[in-house]
Amino acid sequence: MAKIGIFFGTDTGNTRKVAKMMAKKIGEDAAKPLNINRASVDQILEYDYLILGSPTLGDGELPGLTAGAENESWEESLPDLVEADLSGKTIAMYGLGDQEGYPDNFVDALGIIYDELSTSGATFVGSWPTEGYEFTSSQAVVDDEFVGLVLDQENQSDLHEERIDQWLESISGDFGFA
Ligand SMILES: Cc1cc2nc3c(=O)[nH]c(=O)nc-3n(C[C@H](O)[C@H](O)[C@H](O)COP(=O)(O)O)c2cc1C
């Protein structure tokens, strides 16, 4: 069985696309990415290594019905995951956002998920430098770094490939894939 579970939220598909790119690049160690709104906590707990992805919607909100998403998403799934014991799990996160459109809430959802899961016992890896982005405020910044990989589909999609490659390389040791 693949040892890396990739779970994403999405409204318009960008975050799904990135999940698929990552799975392809990782290869056989990665399971087929699954929308978080279709994943049970038990399914998530099957993996010791997790990649969790989310866009930010609303004004700095999790994707989900409150933020106007078409389907349920992280907003509805996160409470159950917060109740779970994630000790022994290694988590790396990525977030999509729009730094020009939402400079005051840039990729906030990444920070919200991180905050909610920070007491779950999991080890977080894959923080990412803020250099190369222009924004005013972001809940995803902790100790001057983003808590995970940040991708901006609207303004910097040309950098996705390079950023994803670099980030996967940076977590490959912790996650144990080549
Ligand atoms: C209604 C709406 C609200 C958004 N709010 C934010 C926001 O607060 N912060 C941010 O960084 N990006 C925001 N974005 C940008 C999305 O995160 C970005 O378009 C992302 O690529 C969407 O991913 P998805 O296709 O997986 O849903 C917003 C986009 C929309 C359409």
Give one DSSP letter per residue of 10-72, joined into a string. -SSSHHHHHHHHHHHHH-TTBPPPEEGGG--HHHHHT-SEEEEEEE-BTTTB-SSTTTT-SS-
Task: Give, using CA atoms, the residue closest to atom 12 of ligand 1.
Answer: 97
CATH number of the domain where residue 64 is located: 3.40.50.360
Q: State whether residue 76 is helix, strand or coil.
A: helix
Distance CA 81, CA 118 (A): 11
What's the average pLDDT block by block, 10 residues per block, for the chain (178 residues)? 94 98 97 98 97 98 97 98 96 98 98 96 98 98 98 98 98 94
Q: Which of 164, 41, 46 is nearest to 95 (CA)?
A: 164
Residue 2, pLDDT score: 87
- Which positions ≥6 away from 171 have C-beta within 8 Å? 92, 125, 126
Residue 57, pLDDT score: 98
Distance CA 137, CA 17 (A): 26
Ligand 1 atom closest to 152 (CA): 21
Any ligand 1 atom below 6 A from CB of 59: yes
Look at the chain and report how many structural domains it folds into: 1
Ligand 1 atom closest to 54 (CA): 26
Instruction: State in Å: Cα 57 to ligand 1 middle.
Output: 4
Q: Which of 40, 110, 54, 119 is nearest to 82 (CA)?
A: 119
Residue 139, pLDDT score: 98
Any ligand 1 atom below 6 A from CB of 137: no
Residue 178, pLDDT score: 81
Among 65, 96, 112, 130, say which to mutate for ligand 1: greatest number of ligand atoms within 8 Å of CB: 96
Instruction: State in Å: Cα 178 to ligand 1 middle.
Output: 32
Residue 22, pLDDT score: 98
Residue 1, pLDDT score: 76
Instruction: State in Å: Cα 166 to ligand 1 middle.
Output: 23
Identify the domain containing residue 124 by its residue range.
4-175
- Which positions ≥6 away from 9 have C-beta within 8 Å? 15, 35, 36, 37, 53, 54, 55, 62, 63, 64, 73, 74, 77, 109
